[in-house]
Amino acid sequence: MQVSILRDLALVVAGNNLIEGQTVRRFWPDYEIFRYSKECVFIDKDHSIIAPDPNEWLARIQRDFDGLWLDYSDRNKWVGDRMTVGFVGGGHRWLIGAVKGETTELWEGGDELGDRKDPAHKIWKSGYVRLEADWKQTREPGRGVADMKAILDDTLRKIGAFAREQKRDNFAESFEAARDALTGKPVRDPMFDNGEMSRETRQLLQAIGSAWVFGGMGSWNDIGFENEKDNQTYETLSNALYEQLNEAVAAIANSTWPKHQAPPPADGKSWWQRLTGS
C-alpha cells in the first residue's frame, strides 16, 4: 500500500482511538510511515499552520472532535487511478473528515520532494491542507469490514487462479497469501496495536497488505497480454481488486469510529461531487 494511504489510515485510527480514551504511543516521528518525512504539517487554505506535526493535530482532534472518517474518490484523469497509484499524486483522491457536531473539517494530504541529499534520508515534505472548516453536507456510507472480506475473497480467488494460469506465480502467491490472511491469525502490526481493532478488521488489514500489488515498474500494473481475451480478463479483475482494496481501507478506518458518539452523517448522496465538481 502507498505510504500516503497508510498515513491517512493511521491518522484516522489513532484519532478515533484517542477520542475513545485509549492510549496511543508517540505517533510522530516514530511510526514507520514517517521514516522519510522531514516534516508533516497541517495547514489551512491560507497556508497558516493549524498544527506543526501529527501529534499536535491528534491532540486537537482528541480535544475538540467527535470522530474521524476516511473516504476517497476518482481523480477522473485520462488514465485510470489504478495505473497512477505508484506515483506521487496518483491513485484515488483521499479525504479525512473530522466531525464536530453538525459540521465537518475536510483534510487532504500530500507529499513534496525536498532535499534529495538529506543525510538522514528525510527527503519528503509531507502535510495536510484543511479544504473546508465547516462542511455541512452529509456523506455516503460505505460497506463494512465483514462485507469487504467476503467480496475480496471472491476476487482474490479469481485473480489468483488467473495469475497461476498465466504463470505469474509471484503475484499468484501474493493473492493466495491475502486469501489466507482473511481467515488466519493476524500478524502484529505496531502501528495498529493501540486500539481495540477487531480480529476480522486485522485480518482484512493484513490481506490488503498482501494483495496490494499495484505500483510502477515491475508491479502487477506493469504487465500485459497479447491475447485480447486474457488482457480483458486481466483488466477486469485488476480494476475490481484495486477498487475493492481501496474500499476495504476506508472500511477499516471507519470501523474505528468512537462507539460513544453518533454514527458519521450519511444520506446516500455524493458529497465528493459537490466538493470537487467531479
pTM over cut 0.85: yes
The string of pLDDT tens digits covering residues 25-83 is 778 988 889 999 999 999 999 999 999 999 999 999 999 999 999 998 877 676 777 76
First to last CA, the chain: 25
Q: How far apart are alpha carbons 34 and 4 in whole angstroms?
A: 10
Write down the H helix ranges in the chain.
3-19, 54-64, 81-84, 145-165, 169-181, 199-211, 228-254, 271-276
3-state secondary structure of 132: strand
Q: Rounded CA gap, 194 and 161, in Å? A: 36
Q: Would you say the C-alpha torsion 188, 124, 112, 46 has a positive or negative sign?
A: positive
Q: What parts of the chain have a pLDDT lower than 70?
A: 76, 78, 83-84, 138-141, 193-195, 261-278
Q: What is the pLDDT of residue 96?
A: 95
User: Measured over all CA atoms, what is the biggest interatomic distance in the chain, rounded to whole angstroms?
Assistant: 57
Size of the chain in residues: 278
CA distance 72 to 251: 11
